[in-house]
């Protein structure tokens, strides 16, 4: 068991950053700044732990990055839309009801196969709204196929994929701020 942590954290080092990822992070930053310039908002979506990552990203983009952001994680919205439109469609319906032309949609799914996220991506693209995806596991997952900018972690380890998604999202927020250490105001 002594080598577990070394091997575990070596996997993070292998996956977290390379030149392609750095370029994508800069593209995400530019998309976010365009949303701010156009007075739009960033909409985040995900299921389970990915919903928690979405919540964290939305709050920090708003509070720290100065870019309006939101999720659709209100229980009454989820249960109402799931009941009326089906769970596989609730997130797409939320995008349809709440999206504006200057918005950006960010979807997070470890597997990249969450049907509600895939349908939300398709809805956003049909509306002309750019889609940023965060996924893992299989490189050719369906969420990634429906994104405009796609972050993919080459791992089947859920916790590693989820943590890297969080690191990438918060790294973009810190790059907008221009530093990693700052006072919270």
CATH topology assigned to domain 19-177: Rossmann fold (3.40.50)
- Tens of pLDDT, residue by residue over 137-156, are 999 999 999 999 999 999 99
- Tens of pLDDT, residue by residue over 75-117, are 999 999 999 999 999 999 999 999 999 999 999 999 999 999 9
Average model confidence (pLDDT) across the chain: 95
pTM of the predicted model, to two decimals?
Answer: 0.94
Spans of all domains in the chain:
19-177
Please report the pLDDT score of residue 2 as a whole number. 72
Cα torsion for 123, 159, 42, 132, to the nearest 10°? -50
Q: Identify the band that residue 183 occupies on the pLDDT scale cut at 50, 70 and 90.
A: confident
User: How far apart (Å, rounded) are the C-alpha atoms in residues 39 and 167?
Assistant: 26
CB distance 110 to 161 below 8 Å: yes
Backbone angles phi, psi at 146, to 5 degrees: -110, 15
Please report the pLDDT score of residue 1 as a whole number. 56
Please report the pLDDT score of residue 185 as a whole number. 63
Residues 6+ apart with CB under 8 A from 131: 104, 105, 106, 107, 121, 124, 125, 146, 147, 148, 149
The token pair at 62 is 């708003």
Q: Which of these, 165, 175, 127, lies nearest to 44 by C-alpha position?
A: 165
Residue 128, pLDDT above cutoff 60: yes
CB < 8 Å & 24+ apart, contacts of 4-11:
8/160, 11/155, 11/157, 11/160
Q: Identify the band that residue 179 occupies on the pLDDT scale cut at 50, 70 and 90.
A: confident
Q: Which of these, 82, 144, 154, lies nearest to 113 by C-alpha position?
A: 144
User: How far apart (Å, rounded) are the C-alpha atoms in residues 103 and 134?
Assistant: 17
């Amino acid at each position: 068991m002594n080598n577990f942590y070394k091997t575990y954290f070596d996997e993070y080092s292998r996956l977290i950053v390379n030149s392609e990822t750095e370029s994508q992070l800069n593209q995400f930053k530019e998309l976010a700044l365009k949303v701010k310039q156009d007075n739009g908002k960033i909409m985040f979506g995900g299921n389970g732990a990915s919903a928690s990552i979405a919540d964290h990203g939305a709050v920090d983009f708003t509070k720290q990055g100065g870019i309006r952001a939101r999720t659709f994680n209100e229980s009454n919205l989820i249960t109402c839309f799931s009941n009326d439109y089906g769970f596989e469609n609730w997130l797409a319906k939320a995008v349809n009801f709440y999206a504006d032309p200057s918005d950006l949609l960010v979807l997070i799914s470890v597997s990249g196969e969450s049907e509600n996220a895939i349908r939300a991506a398709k809805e956003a693209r049909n509306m002309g709204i750019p889609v940023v995806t965060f996924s893992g596991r299989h490189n050719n997952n369906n969420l990634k196929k429906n994104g405009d900018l796609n972050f993919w972690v080459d791992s089947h380890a859920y916790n590693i994929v989820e943590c890297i998604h969080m690191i990438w999202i918060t790294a973009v927020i810190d790059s907008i701020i221009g530093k990693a250490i700052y006072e919270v105001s």
